[in-house]
Amino acid sequence: MSFPRKRIAAVAAAIALTALVAGCTAPAEEPVVEETLDPANPVSITVGSLPAGDYAPLWLAVQEGYFEEEGLDVTIEIIAGGAVGVTQLVSGELDFTSATWGNTLLAVSQGLEIEVVREGTDSNKEGINGLIVQADGPIQSVEDLRGQTLSVNTLASATEVQIRDCLASEGLEPGDYELVEVAFPDAAAAVSQGRIAAGFVPEPFITIGAAQGLEPLFYPSTCNERQSELPLINWNVASSYADENPAVVAAFVRAMTKATELAISDEQTVRDILPTFTTLTPELAAEITLPSFVASAEPDIEGAEKMMELLVEYGLLDAPLEDLEQYTWQG
């Protein structure tokens, strides 16, 4: 059977019109509603942190009631460092923890299933950390560190990479000195007593050390161009926990974002809260260099890739990892 050309055209037009009408009248997709928690029945979580300025938003979120508003009951656990914190995520001792991209990448390379949920601070500021030495001691230049023992809070970490990269840019290779672990709060005493020649510390330990006759030999966060472009602190969760508790993760990120915005917009709130979780007096808190807080909650993939290059360069990571976005929370 055949149809006249005009009828074929008419049928085609009718089909097209029907499709157009159907497209215009089709019901719109239902908007995605983010699940929230009930503040009247808060979920208890434990968060790993350190007693230093980079972590102030966590303490602000507790103080200002941001976690409470999101339906979270937060317990803060002091940890030795990010490398320890990420292992405690997987063991279930912590639900969230502060860490660095160095900690995260090394952990996932070893098979630990963790994810970055939010950036915390970056290196875009001088004075936020330092390699402290005795002000009137024998170490007056980087060259004086040759053959000496230096400390970082944890080995195989972002702090190790940072120190090694800074020293390399000044002509010292890894075999020219020894690195040992000393917790941030103990580094000043170790330097003062001569047990180590220099110690890596963040604020407030630089300011605390100044009162003990110590001073930074240099500032690792800005010792060279690529260090100044790196992310510093972030917040992590175990992948299994994130899969089972997406609303909890979302609530944590929202509360931390509110607290970070407050820290950025009102520095005094940070200075006021520091004496409540560090050994700083109000007078010293007024003097310290505050961290460079990151407003955007989105994990810094570009910065993570730069950190990964350093980990490979200094032998802490055997080979680059692919698709770093898979190690970020996709909530």
Summarised one tens digit per residue, pLDDT across range 205-239 is 898 899 899 999 999 999 999 999 999 999 999 99
pLDDT at position 159, please?
Answer: 87
pLDDT at position 16, please?
Answer: 41
Indicate the domain borders of the chain: 43-123+230-327, 129-229
pLDDT at position 202, please?
Answer: 87
If DSSP states are collapsed to H, E and C, what string results for the chain?
Answer: CCCCHHHHHHHHHHHHHHHHHHHHHCCCCCCCCCCCCCCCCCEEEEEEECCCHHHHHHHHHHHCCHHHHCCEEEEEEECCCHHHHHHHHHHCCCCEEEEEHHHHHHHHHCCCCEEEEEECEECCCCCCEEEEEECCCCCCCHHHHCCCEEEECCCCCHHHHHHHHHHHCCCCCHHHCEEEECCHHHHHHHHHCCCCCEEEEECCHHHHHHCCCEEEEECHHHCCCCHHHCECEEEEEEHHHHHHCHHHHHHHHHHHHHHHHHHHHCHHHHHHHHHHHCCCCHHHHCCCCCCEECCCCCCCHHHHHHHHHHHHHCCCCCCCCCCHHHHECCC
Matching fold, domains 43-123+230-327 and 129-229: yes
Chosen CATH of 129-229 out of 3.40.190.10, 3.40.960.10, 3.20.20.140, 3.40.50.620: 3.40.190.10
Segments in the chain below pLDDT 70: 1-34
pLDDT at position 216, please?
Answer: 98
pLDDT at position 155, please?
Answer: 87
Q: Is the pTM of this model over 0.75?
A: yes
Class level of CATH domain 43-123+230-327: alpha beta
pLDDT at position 6, please?
Answer: 34
